Amino acid sequence: MHIDVIGHGPALVLIHGWALHGGIFAPLVERLSPHLELHLVDLPGHGHSREDSTPLKLPQVVSAIAAATPPAVWCGWSLGGLFALHAAATLPQVRALAMIAATPRFVRSEDWPQAVEPSVFEQFGQDLQHDYRGTLDRFLALDVMGSQHARSELRTLRDALTARGEPAPRALHEGLALLQRTDLRGALHCLHKPGLWLGGQRDRLVPAAAMHAAAALARDAHAHTVEGGGHAPFLGHADLVAAHLQQFVAACP
């Protein structure tokens, strides 16, 4: 698995969302690398890890990342949040957990209304079979929908999508299955580590209310809403997100 290491200071592992790669965090790298040692993961089947055949499943991927990184705060964006949360719940070397537009459950249910309908991910899975590139582009458009800086964020996402080669279809289907089926809410009740939850006010995939609801399930977690932010708030509001992350890592024991 490819992991870029950039910067100096306390370690922060950054895990990207569906279909992208670690390069998407460039705005955070610019702001945080003078203060933190950033470990930028390309998940299996994505970016420079496209040929990595590791199944995109929580235990396998988390074990591989942990074997290649030092004790650190783990931060996950969107799909990457599931890996970060699983790691925080199972590995002592994870010092704290930061979640950006990510929750323990991405699909709606009677006891978890702040999420999307299961049919959303089912439809993306079906569409991938017939229109691979068009489906990816529609997903990126959903990422920025409602954001205060939607146009510029969409350009950034489109440029990043193929900057390291197209993601492997296998990994995309496995990622969608994770988003559909995973429910890690139970892990939050017994999580004895600091938590930071950052959500975009205008996020159409992971409502800010879901971030606050998830943080409320944990013992030592705080949620913040990025005003005007969409599903990728670190693009249009990089200064604010970086400041939150830097302060959070500095405060971790």
Task: Report, as residue numbers or ranges, the catalytic residues.
Answer: 78, 203, 231
**Other Cβ atoms closer than 10 A to 170:** 13
CB atoms within 10 A of CB 238: 18
Beta bridge partners of 38: 6, 12
Distance of alpha carbon 68 from alpha carbon 30, whole angstroms: 23
Q: Which residues contact 23 (CB under 8 A, 6 or more apart)?
A: 40, 47, 160, 163, 164
Cα radius of gyration rounded to whole Å, the chain? 16
Q: How far apart are the first and last CA of the chain?
A: 28
- Nearest Cα neighbor of 163 from 54, 79, 53, 48 is 48
In this structure, are residues 171 and 73 in contact, taking their beta carbons and an 8 Å threshold? no
CB 231 within 8 A of CB 199: no
- Dig out the tokens for 104 from the structure: 């323990």
Per DSSP, the three-state class of 73 is strand
Q: At what angle do helices 118-130 and 132-144 cross, to 10 degrees?
A: 150
